[in-house]
């Protein structure tokens, strides 16, 4: 089995498991004042410090969550309701958002919020000037994905956030696919809030992080003991926080080598499919320039091929991949992001996403190319 669906999730790094192991079995609440509690508090504080250092934030800006979906929801509803839940105003979004962002926005729209969505290029790129131009006098916030989960486009968030900030509008970014794949500098980006999730970079499932700039007003959605500045109350999940921090630390130590290896492997995968099959049968989706896309992500459309059937046959042959976001994989409708790009109907339902991980090997890519070509050669094209 060759796992090329690691944009959906990555396997837990054994070194992360080792770092977490003591905190699964050790007693003590990090809020308690006795020695067991103090030991857990030290581990928690160390995790906070590590995340803050790697992502260039202040420790007071770190909020651990259950994952990217919760982090995005806390940010979006917190920004929307910063003036009270009776507020009905305007927000600006990209049309490329993951369901964890698109869902909350749709809910706000159902409550009476006005939503404007920017236009994107055929390569999935946002024009910061055009998107900022959608801001109105009552715009409460703007949200734009940092790196796309399907075709890997990296958005111009720094420029966009600066334009929005000049207009007094905070920006949220879903960085779930970016953190652990490319360097992310919270301070340099200039966004108000940023969401990430550990299982995307070989950390544990069940923990994410929300970064909240210190001057950002965020309405609380949960109430309890007041932990984590009151933004996410509850007993601190120390083992999970340690795992996220360790996974992020391992990426930091190895990110240059990983990036070089990923670029090489993705290039080999692309050549092994597109060049071998020809442009008539295989089309890469997303930015043409390497610098504008994630180093380990590749999406290819196969004109007039049934993507679901192709996915099933590749699965049977031992190559794991996907037809888009795993969080929307049960939907029969085509990807809203690909629709926004203007992808032609003959490849709209036939695109396959490949996502590499830290341990993906040359041999796996070589074997995948052989399998994919073989499966497509047997495939009945409509």
Q: Which of 121, 57, 100, 118 is nearest to 200 (CA)?
A: 100
Q: What is the C-alpha separation between 117 and 108, in angstroms, rounded?
A: 14
Helix H or strand E encompassing 247: helix 238-270
Q: Which of 68, 115, 112, 73 is nearest to 91 (CA)?
A: 115
Compute the radius of gyration of the chain from its Cα atoms: 21
Residues 6+ apart with CB under 8 A from 263: 290, 295
Active site members: 327
8 Å CB contact between 308 and 323: yes
Residue environment code for 135-166, b if the CB has 16+ CB neighbours within 10 A, otherwise e: beeebbbbbbbbbbbbbbbbbbbebbbebbbe
Q: How many CB atoms lie within 10 A of CB 279?
A: 10
351-355 vs 297-301, strand pairing mode: antiparallel
8 Å CB contact between 29 and 37: yes
Dihedral angle, C-alpha 211, 158, 216, 72, nearest 10 °: -50
8 Å CB contact between 249 and 95: no
Residues 6+ apart with CB under 8 A from 157: 144, 146, 171, 173, 189, 191
């Amino acid at each position: 089995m060759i796992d090329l669906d690691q944009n959906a999730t990555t396997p837990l790094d054994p070194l992360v498991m080792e770092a977490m192991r003591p905190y699964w079995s050790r007693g003590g609440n990090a809020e308690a004042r006795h020695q067991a509690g103090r030991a857990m508090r030290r581990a928690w504080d160390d995790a906070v410090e590590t995340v803050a250092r790697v992502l260039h934030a202040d420790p007071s800006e770190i909020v651990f969550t259950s994952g990217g979906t919760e982090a995005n929801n806390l940010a979006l509803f917190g920004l929307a309701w910063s003036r009270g839940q009776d507020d009905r105003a305007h927000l600006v979004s990209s049309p490329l958002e993951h369901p964890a962002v698109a869902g909350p926005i749709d809910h706000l729209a159902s409550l009476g919020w006005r939503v404007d969505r920017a236009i994107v290029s055929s390569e999935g790129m946002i024009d910061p000037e055009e998107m900022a131009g959608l801001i109105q006098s009552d715009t409460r916030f703007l949200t734009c994905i940092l790196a796309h989960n399907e075709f890997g486009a990296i958005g111009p968030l720094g420029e966009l956030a600066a334009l929005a900030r000049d207009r007094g509008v905070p920006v949220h970014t879903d960085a779930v696919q970016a953190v652990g794949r490319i360097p992310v500098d919270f301070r340099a980006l200039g966004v108000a809030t940023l969401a990430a999730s550990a299982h995307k970079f070989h950390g544990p499932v069940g923990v994410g992080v929300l970064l909240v700039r210190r001057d950002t007003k965020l309405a609380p959605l949960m109430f309890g003991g007041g932990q984590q500045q009151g933004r996410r109350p509850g007993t601190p999940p120390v083992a999970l926080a340690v795992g996220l921090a360790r996974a992020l630390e391992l990426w930091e130590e190895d990110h240059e080598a990983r990036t070089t290896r990923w670029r090489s492997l993705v290039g080999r995968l692309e050549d092994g499919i597109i060049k071998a099959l020809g442009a008539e049968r295989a089309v890469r989706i997303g930015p043409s320039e390497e610098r504008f896309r994630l180093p380990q992500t590749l999406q290819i459309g196969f004109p007039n091929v049934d993507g679901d059937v192709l996915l099933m046959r590749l699965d049977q042959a031992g190559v794991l991949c996907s037809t888009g976001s795993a969080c929307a994989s049960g939907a029969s409708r085509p990807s809203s992001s690909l629709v926004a790009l203007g992808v032609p109907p003959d490849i709209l339902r036939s695109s396959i996403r490949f996502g590499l991980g830290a341990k993906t090997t040359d041999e796996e890519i070589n074997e995948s190319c052989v399998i994919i070509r073989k499966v497509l050669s047997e495939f009945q094209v409509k």
